[in-house]
Structure 1
Amino acid sequence: MVKAMLIAGFGGFIGTILRFFISRYIQVFFVSTFPWGTLLVNIAGSFLIGVFFGISGKGQFMTAEWRLFLTVGLCGGFTTFSSFSNDALLLLENNEFFRFATYTGLSFLFGLIAVFLGRMLIKMI
């Protein structure tokens, strides 16, 4: 149990640092009140988790430890559902209903598509 926690925790540490830098860079590049950084990180993370689950489902290409590290740890730290929820609430609090609907809709739709594409990519390999 402790080993699994350390594996997931180390992956989460790396994912969190990646999220911080990528999200900040995107927000600086796309100066906007729309949370582009969080949106794009969530879509990329959804794609990655699809790829990782696809690889792990192909047989002996990934150990249980690597799956834990990559999916629960790295992707869990990298994707930002809590940040997504906070950004969505801020849009609502600022009466930006169209941006709220756009942000939540795009996050869900493209996140789902990205997971599907990640799995399909691995199936084609």
Structure 2
Amino acid sequence: MQWLFVAAGGALGAMARLFITTQLSPLTGHRFPLGTLVVNLLGCFLVALLYVVIVEKAMLPPYWRHLLVTGFLGALTTFSTFSLDALLLWQNGLHSVAVFYVLANVLGCLLVVALSWYLAHFMLS
């Protein structure tokens, strides 16, 4: 049954990723992969929140972790796309944009995971 939860969550996460990236791409065109950054930050925020709710606080049954964390967030977040985007920015001579993009993803995602974890503990205490 866990395979079905992962598959269902993955389908929804992939559709959410496509929706977010297509909605945001007109804002920057091909100059900056804003959609990838947003889904990575959103995914990092949600993974910590869901971890607290499902694992630490046991407010949802464990199968929700398969559906939401492994499936939905696994398909939503895009580390492989992030890596390709960074490489293409670099290869196109946009070195400072590539460095900013890598730092924004890595540091931003670490920051939102920590923020979400603390918010979840504060709100659920």
TM-score (norm 2): 0.92
Q: Is the 8 A contact 1:7 1:69 kept in 2?
A: yes
Superposed CA RMSD: 1.2
% identical aligned pairs: 33
2:63 match: 65
List runs of 5+ in structure 1 lacking aligned partners.
none
Give 2:5's match in structure 1, choosing from 4, 7, 11.
Answer: 7
Q: More deviation in 92-101 or 75-84?
A: 92-101
- 5 Å-filtered alignment, 1:1-125, equals 3-125=1-123
Q: More deviation in 23-32 or 37-46?
A: 23-32
Q: More deviation in 21-30 or 52-61?
A: 52-61
Deviation at 1:29, TM superposition (A): 2.9
Segments of 4+ moved more than 6 angstroms: none
Q: Is the 8 A contact 1:54 1:118 kept in 2?
A: no
What is the letter of the counterpart of residue 73 of structure 2?
A: C
Report the secondary structure of 1:57's partner residue: helix
Q: What is the aligned residue count? A: 123
Q: Write out per-residue CA displacement over residues 27-71 of structure 1, whole angstroms, 9 at most, x where no aligned residue.
A: 113335111111111101110111101112333212111011111
Q: Is the 8 A contact 1:45 1:79 kept in 2?
A: yes
* d(CA) in 2 for partners of 1:82, 1:32: 17
Report the secondary structure of 2:56's partner residue: coil
